[in-house]
Every structure is written in C-alpha cells, then in structure tokens.
Amino acid sequence: MPELPEVETIARQLRGLVTGRVIGAFRSHWGRLTEPVPPRHFARRLVDRRIEGVRRRGKLVLFDLDGGDVLVVSLRMTGQLLFREAEAPPDLRVRGVIAFTDRSEVRFVDTRKFGRMAIVDGREIGADGTARSAAGARAHGPLHATSGIEPLSRAFTTRWLGDFLHRRGRSAIKVLLLDPRGIAGIGNIYDCEALWRARIHPTRLAGSLTTAEAARLHEAIGWVLRKGIRLGGASRRDYLDARGRAGRMQREFQVYAQADRPCPRCGRAIVRSVQGGRATFHCPRCQTVRVP
C-alpha cells in the first residue's frame, strides 16, 4: 500500500506531531514485529529517548532519537503509523505501540503483519538515510532493502537514469522500476502511472529506451511522485495516514486499476496484464511495444 508519496505524507505528519516528545514505553503485540531483537531489549533502547525528527528513506519511516539511534519502520503492504492523543479509543490490529511520556502514542497497525521495526546506530546511516557500510546494512536486517537512489533527490538526474537503464539493459522497465535497490520508493501504482505518462510500454527492455524516452521517464517519475505527495498519497481499503485520514491520489489514477476504462489520453481501453508477478496496467495505443 504505502509507496514513496504515502510514506512521505506519514513522515511529514509525524514530524510535526511527535518531534520533541519523549518515549515512555514501547509495547509489542506481535512477537515478530522487532525480530530478531526481543521486544524487551527493543523497549529498553527506546525508553527515555527524545524524538529529534522524523524522515523518510525510500518506503521506510525513520525516527531520529537523541543519543544517535534511529528507529526504522517498514510498513510493507498494510502497515500504518497512527498518532493518537492520550486516552484515544482502541484501534484494531495494533502490532506495536510507542507511548510517549505525555500519554499520547504512535500505534503501528498492520493487518497482514509484514511490517517490521528495527533500531540502528545513526552513525551507520548517512544523512540521506543510506547505510554507510556493510555492517550498517546488516544492522538494518530485513529493513535494509532500501539502498537505491532517492528519485526526488538532486542526484536523480536524467543522466543518472540513462546510465542506470544502460547498466540494467536486459531488465523489463516495469520490473526494474519496482526494484528498491536501484531506485527507492516506487511501487506498483506509481510505476504504472509513470510509464503511462512517459508513453513507454511496461515490457520494454531498459536498454531499448531512447534518450528521449529516458528523459520522458525521468520527468514522469518525478511528476507522479510529487503529485502523489501533494494529494496526501493514494488510499485503498483501510489505508490511512498518520492522522487516520485517506489520501486523494486514488481519484487521479490514469491507468492503475483502470482495466477496460478508456485511456484518458486516447480513449483506447486500458489493459490489465501480469508481469513479474504483479498486475500491470497500460494503454495499448499510447504505450507501444515497438522501439521507436
């Protein structure tokens, strides 16, 4: 559910809500939430720490703590971080709770239990959230997938993307964009939307893209991600932001989940297919398979 714009929305909200608060207690309601670290050890490292800030890295939420530790939260498919004031009514499927000394709390709600938390030494993480060493990477454990470039950073240039497409030339572009080791934060929704905007067929090999197509793709990735952030992310089913509210991006999908509906650009019916085990949506007229 949460991709870069959704996680960015949550991180920005939490930054305003919890910065300066002091953790009074941590409770795990699901044994595997903090594995391989036992919840008791986890709690010991969090209690009495002050939240200095909240950041996003890829699809991870990072809480910077005083003393230098960083609490890393991976929401995976269905994770939510809900801020609740003291005495708020209970929520369903709460897997973990960060309780502050003023009795407000952040609740980690996660239907499918794929989400995880970890605590890493901040010295092992660069200012951009990337692990500085193999040891740092290991410290993230299952959370360290995010090592790719940030697509909204200045480093993500058209030239960088062109080189990347050349290096990974044998990969299908749709699948390549989903790999967080290359570019961090793009999920299925923004992948489909960016390829449609750039008029590139999802099965095209990365190495077959022309310079003009690579430039369009670079623009499209930034455009769809920024639009997603501006609209507070996309919501489906029970996905909510840190304030418990839905985003508005789901109303703006041009192709994602729009099978059989007319392409907003040319009117041809949008096609749903499966690629790399993921549902893919594209316009068979606008997004041509043939290399120009």
Partner DNA sequence: GGCGATGTTTCCCC
Partner DNA sequence: AGGGGAAACATCGC
Minimum Å gap between C-beta 207 and DNA is: 8
Question: How far from each other are the two terminal CA atoms of the chain, in whole angstroms?
Answer: 34
**Tokens (6 digits) for 252:** 């703006």
Minimum Å gap between C-beta 227 and DNA is: 16
The question of whether 230 is a catalytic residue gets the answer: no
Minimum Å gap between C-beta 149 and DNA is: 14
Contact call for residue 125 and DNA (CB under 7 A): no
The question of whether 59 is a catalytic residue gets the answer: yes
- Measured CA to CA, the distance from residue 92 to residue 109 in angstroms comes to 7
Q: Which of 49, 56, 59, 197 is catalytic?
A: 59
**HEC per residue, 159-221:** HHHHHHHHHCCCCEHHHHHHCCCCECCCCHHHHHHHHHHHCCCCCCEHHHCCHHHHHHHHHHH
Count of residues near DNA by CB under 7 A: 41
DSSP, collapsed to helix, strand or coil, labels residue 222 as helix
Residue from 73, 172, 194, 221 binding DNA (CB under 7 A):
172
Q: Which of 3, 8, 105, 124 is catalytic?
A: 3
Contact call for residue 279 and DNA (CB under 7 A): yes
**Tokens (6 digits) for 178:** 């989903």
Contact call for residue 112 and DNA (CB under 7 A): yes
**Tokens (6 digits) for 190:** 């923004």
For DNA, the binding residues in 179-238 under the rule CB under 7 A are 180-181, 187-189, 234-237
Q: Do residues 10 and 242 make contact, with C-beta atoms less than 8 angstroms apart?
A: yes
Q: Which of 2, 39, 151, 202 is catalytic?
A: 2
Task: Determine how β-strand 60-65 pairs with β-strand 51-57.
Answer: antiparallel
Residue from 47, 52, 69, 171 binding DNA (CB under 7 A):
171
Site residues (CB under 7 A) for DNA?
A: 1-3, 32, 58-59, 74, 76-78, 93, 111-114, 142, 144-146, 168-172, 175, 178, 180-181, 187-189, 234-237, 239, 275-279
Residues noted as catalytic: 2-3, 59, 278
